[in-house]
Amino acid sequence: MTNADVAQAFFEIADLLEIGGEKSFRVTSYRRAARAISDLADDITDIAARGELAAIEGIGKSTAAKITELLETGRVAYRDELAEKVPLSTLELLKIPNMGPKKVALLFREKGVDSLTALQQAIDDGALADLKGFGPKSIDKIREGIDFLRKAAGRTRLGQAWPLAERLRALVAEMPGVQRVEHAGSLRRGRETVGDLDLLCIADNGAEVIAAFTTLPLVDKVLAAGDTKGSILTDGADGPAMQIDLRVVPAQHFGAAWQYFTGSKEHNVRLRELAVRRGWSLNEYSLSEGEKIIAAATEEEIYAALELPWVPPELREDRGEFDLRATPTDLVTVADIRGDLHMHTTASDGRFSIEEMAEAARARGYAYICITDHSQSSVVAGGLKPDALRRHIEAIRAANERVDGIEIWAGSEVDILADGQLDYDDDLLAELDWVVASNHHYLHDDRDENTQRALRAIRNPYVNVLAHPTGRMIGRRSAKPLDLPAIAQAAAETGTALEINAAHQRLDLKDQHARLAVEHGAVLSINCDAHHIEGFEQIVYGVLTARRGWIRPEQVVNTWTAEKVRAFVAAKRA
DNA sequence: GCCGTTTTCGGCCCGACTGTTTTCAGTCG
């Protein structure tokens, strides 16, 4: 049972209780526990085995007992009892915009509606006409909501949302009267997926700015257009179709608004609690004591007034940032990255030559790159047979002679085979400057097997980094079970890096896993796995992920000098 | 249900918008 499975059970309990009319604090409590579980980097089975469940913040005696019950028996009796009163199938109704627990409860109690299909049927039959709170406009909205849910819904990957967000920011910046535009919301926090895009701007002519915004060519539908707020759906012609909210604020309230709209919700709840303890209140306009404004213009002032250091947006998840005594100014940045150690060329499944990749990397200011085409087992990816790799090494050495201003290293992305052996002999690996070991074909659902295979690869003296360790593809394939603490420990002991694969479909390791890895002493390598010269652009997503894992540059091998990376490789081989 | 330099009991975040029941409950971010 994965952390996500356990968290899911408690999210369901919270929803069921809420529909049942339970008081909100108890509901919130279950939800907080569920979130704490899904945020865990460590495997909850291991934590339970160590008897440390109740030590997790937000989990007390009662929840700990239910987790144990779930892990041991596969069920939580309490959840089953609740589900007898309100069927689990009703929970999907909560996903419809503007449908909350009260309305769902009413639908179920009065009309027996217990699923999306049943709701659709009830609407088509006109069965809801006499139901309190379900007037014609509400019915229309629900109908649209069901369509929305069935069509796309869900969240957009950071790597798809980011270019659209940048384009919109540039468009808004050019509008008359706009003095400053910034991203807010989960995009600013660097989350791996984002729901809608939040833009915030300073201007005194709000209505004009909103009018310009809601008539941009990429607008498909205008959802709201007031004096300070506009909301649109983009047409998806060039980039993803997304909801974009723009808010216009005067400069003197910008900090409060930026803080507020950046979130996360959980971070903001904590922050407001701290304000309340002082007899103050915090909202999107200001931090105030009654009528008196204490801070509003900048985020720094607001945090400072609450005796907190300014918190980088990537850390605003209520994952320990309130214990910070000072702003961490040393989180890794894109500017710290000196090279990339995982990329492909036309020799396997890449689109550009060695030289073209090198030129593109040099243009980014990189000091070194390592060419790591696929190994022989990856047949569909054009993996190289040993002889082909030998010739490729020669080609890389020759390119290194020709291209100035950047070091080009010879490497390989070597498959880890079923038994944990590598796809090339050690003799051949010894000729390479850097070896990426990858699980492509043999990641399954057996945690112990996955772990043993990874450990065997890590212990090979020629392996320098374990690539995309969990094999997840965001929204498509979940992370395979692994004993990450054991892997991180072995990586630390052997001098092997773990990868944060920056490709936006992967972002693997993810934020919390990266944090866990460095806590166990491992170092990381943030690589783009570029198959194209534009693939290097994705470094920003990998760096954001690392920052969300509280990672500092010295913990990332490709922020090091070429000499230091060479010493890292030499030390393991010795 | 959780938690503690306010507390082992009694607290636990805030404002806007919307539809509609026409004075406010429900939902959202």
What average pLDDT does range A377-400 have in this prediction? 93
Q: Cα(A199)–Cα(A197) distance, rounded to whole angstroms? A: 7
Of the pLDDT bands very low, low, confident and very high (cuts 50, 70, 90), residue A152 is low
A156-249 has which CATH code? 3.30.460.10
The fold of the A334-573 domain, in CATH, is TIM Barrel (3.20.20)
Q: What is the dihedral of CA A370, A376, A382, A388, to 10 degrees?
A: 70
What average pLDDT does range A20-33 have in this prediction? 88
pLDDT score, position A530? 96
Q: Is the pLDDT of residue A441 over 80?
A: no
| DSSP helix/strand/coil, A501 | strand
Q: Cα(A168)–Cα(A8) distance, rounded to whole angstroms? A: 35
Protein-to-nucleotide distance from the CA of A265 to the C1' of B14, whole angstroms: 11
**In the complex, which nucleotide's C1' lies nearest to the CA atom of residue A56?**
B2
**In the complex, which nucleotide's C1' lies nearest to the CA atom of residue A278?**
B6
For CA atoms A311, A316, A322, A325, the dihedral sign is negative
Q: Are strands A523-527 and A497-501 parallel, antiparallel or unpaired?
A: parallel
Q: Is the pLDDT of residue A283 over 70?
A: yes
pLDDT score, position A421? 92
- Which CATH superfamily groups domain A3-150? DNA polymerase beta, N-terminal domain-like (1.10.150.110)
Q: Cα(A401)–Cα(A407) distance, rounded to whole angstroms? A: 9
**In the complex, which nucleotide's C1' lies nearest to the CA atom of residue A66?**
B1
Radius of gyration of chain A (CA): 26
Query: Do the beta carbons of residue A63 and residue A78 sit within 8 Å?
Result: no
Q: Could you please report the per-residue DSSP string of A132-172?
A: TT--HHHHHHHHHHHHHHHSS-S-EEHHHHHHHHHHHHHHH
The one-character DSSP state at A385 is P
In chain B, which nucleotides are within 7 Å of a protein Cβ?
1-3, 6, 11-15, 17-21, 25-29
Protein-to-nucleotide distance from the CA of A98 to the C1' of B28, whole angstroms: 8
Protein-to-nucleotide distance from the CA of A97 to the C1' of B28, whole angstroms: 9
Query: Do the beta carbons of residue A482 and residue A454 sit within 8 Å?
Result: yes
Protein-to-nucleotide distance from the CA of A62 to the C1' of B24, whole angstroms: 36
**In the complex, which nucleotide's C1' lies nearest to the CA atom of residue A263?**
B29
**In the complex, which nucleotide's C1' lies nearest to the CA atom of residue A64?**
B1
Protein-to-nucleotide distance from the CA of A533 to the C1' of B19, whole angstroms: 52
Q: Is the pLDDT of residue A173 over 90?
A: yes
Protein-to-nucleotide distance from the CA of A184 to the C1' of B13, whole angstroms: 20
Which single residue is written with the structure tokens 């003296």? A461
> Taking the C1' atom of B6, which residue's CA lies nearest?
A277
Q: Global pTM?
A: 0.85
Check: CATH 3.30.210.10 for A255-323?
Answer: yes
Domain ranges of chain A: 3-150, 156-249, 255-323, 334-573
- Give the number of other Cβ atoms within 10 Å of residue A525's Cβ: 29
- pLDDT, tens digit, for every residue of A284-336? 889 998 888 999 999 999 999 999 999 999 999 988 899 888 888 899 999 99
Of the pLDDT bands very low, low, confident and very high (cuts 50, 70, 90), residue A151 is low
Protein-to-nucleotide distance from the CA of A349 to the C1' of B18, whole angstroms: 53
pLDDT score, position A395? 97
Give the residue, A488 or A274, on which the prediction is more confident.
A488
Q: Is the pLDDT of residue A479 over 80?
A: yes
Give the residue, A124 or A477, on which the prediction is more confident.
A124
Averaged pLDDT score across all residues of chain A: 91
> Taking the C1' atom of B11, which residue's CA lies nearest?
A25
**In the complex, which nucleotide's C1' lies nearest to the CA atom of residue A243?**
B29
The one-character DSSP state at A341 is -
